Structure 1
Amino acid sequence: MRSKLPSAERFEEWVVGTVLPTIRKTGSYVRGEEAFDVTTEAGLAAATMHVMAALQAKADGFRAMFEAAKPKADAFAVIEEATGSMTVTEAAKALKAKRADLYGSLEHRKWVTKGKNRQATAAALRPGYMDTRTHTDTRGRVHSTPVVTPKGLAYLARIKAQKRA
């Protein structure tokens, strides 16, 4: 309260002339309430409507933030449920998609080769989106199956969420 700056003097006048008297009268101060005379019923109703409008605007802002975050939350829910790498069929179930549609999407992204014996491509193996699982059948033949890693599942879930938004 000792500063001689013009902005400090305006602040002091506002505190001494508006804020402190309002606190003395009502016990508290809410910015902008000086426009309302809360000692009368009409003034109290107007102040209440002002507060309600401010709360509604705040709620609308939170609702918009929630809607913007929902696709990401859905994608993370899919990832959270996933444990380790999964076959394309398991990944399709986790993403609530059809197996054929997911294979089509993987082929389109060049993550797997086309045809009956699909294999993970280098384009998916290098960044860690897919991996290969090998197994031996009863005749001793070795087979490899492309599997989606948690990182790949997260990427696919994020894409799916963005398409829905």
Structure 2
Amino acid sequence: MSNIIPFNFEDQAVRVITRDGEPWFVLADVCSVLDIRNSRDAANRLDDDERGVSITDTLGGPQEMTVINESGLYSLVLTSRKPTAKRFKKWITSEVIPSIRKTGGYIVAAPEETPEELALRAMTILQATVERQKQQLAEAQPKAEAHDRIAGADGSLNITEAAKALQVRPKDLFAWLSCNGWIYKRPGSLSWLGYQSRTTNGDLVHKIMTILRPDGSEKVSEQVRITPKGIAKLAKLMPERLRVVA
């Protein structure tokens, strides 16, 4: 059985499964978005390694679905004359695929979903992300290349990563945190810092980041990060009007 990851492109459902960390798209959904009327003919135009079958658990029971990989999807995009094809490809490459490869999912609040349920889903994805980070850190060589990832091994996320988990635009999250007493900038500084009250109560942490420059030298900087506790709190506090539906 394959687990479906539900996405939504301009009010059209696009279901995705993952195989070995790579996305496979439900062909019927892709054809609907691209206005391709015969999905069977579309599948036949693809190479054997670009299409496959997945048994997926649905409300009606196990269902066999034709799925296509990235290469197959781009082949169909190129044959579509629908104006949305270009936007669809950009959405796939900039939103869906990075989200799956980074977190294994995509946080979108359903209309009936409570803030607590959204927070629980965010925490589940965070936990999976932490495990991947720990594994990557253990395998990373040379050691210097892993320095800039070590800060996330405790489950904390930088603000841009947290925005993706919370399904808001990064600039909106930065603005909200600044206006609501979470983060600030020192005069003349470009770096954001967390207020002491937020670090004391465990919503934020500061991490020293060591980044290896191309010339072999190291750059050390301080970064404010949001803890899993902070993510759960923000899922309840942030206004719904800021949430972005893909």
Letter of the 1:76 partner, please give it.
L
Determine the C-alpha separation between the residues in 1 that align with 2:198 and 2:206.
Answer: 10
1:71 Cα deviation (Å)? 2.9
1:77 Cα deviation (Å)? 1.0
Within 5 Å, which residues of 2 pair with 1:120-135? Answer: 120-135=194-209
What per-residue deviation string (whole Å, max 9, x for no partner) do you get for residues 27-80 of structure 1? xxxxxxxxxxxxxxxxxxxxxxxxxxxxxxxxxxxxxxxx5x733212221122
Question: Percent identity at matched positions?
Answer: 28
What per-residue deviation string (whole Å, max 9, x for no partner) do you get for residues 78-99 of structure 1? 1221131011111000001111
> Within the alignment, does 1:93 sit opposite 2:164 as a pair?
yes
Letter of the 1:75 partner, please give it.
A
Note the residue ranges of structure 2 that are not aligned, 5 or more in a row: 1-111, 128-154, 242-246
Aligned residues: 97
* 2:227 matched residue in structure 1: 149
* 2:191 matched residue in structure 1: 117
> Could you say what the CA RMSD is over the residues aligned between the two structures, in angstroms?
2.3
Determine the C-alpha separation between the residues in 1 that align with 2:163 and 2:228.
Answer: 13
1:131 Cα deviation (Å)? 0.2
Q: TM-score, normalized by length of structure 2?
A: 0.36
Note the residue ranges of structure 1 that are not aligned, 5 or more in a row: 1-66
Structure number with the bigger relative contact order (C-alpha 8 A, sep ≥ 6) is: 1
Q: Which has the higher strand share?
A: 2
* 1:79 matched residue in structure 2: 123
Of residues 92, 114, 122, the one that matches 1:70 is 114
* 1:164 matched residue in structure 2: 240
Q: Which has the higher helix share?
A: 1
Q: TM-score, normalized by length of structure 1?
A: 0.52
What per-residue deviation string (whole Å, max 9, x for no partner) do you get for residues 119-158 of structure 1? 1220210110000111224344420110000000000001
Letter of the 2:203 partner, please give it.
Y
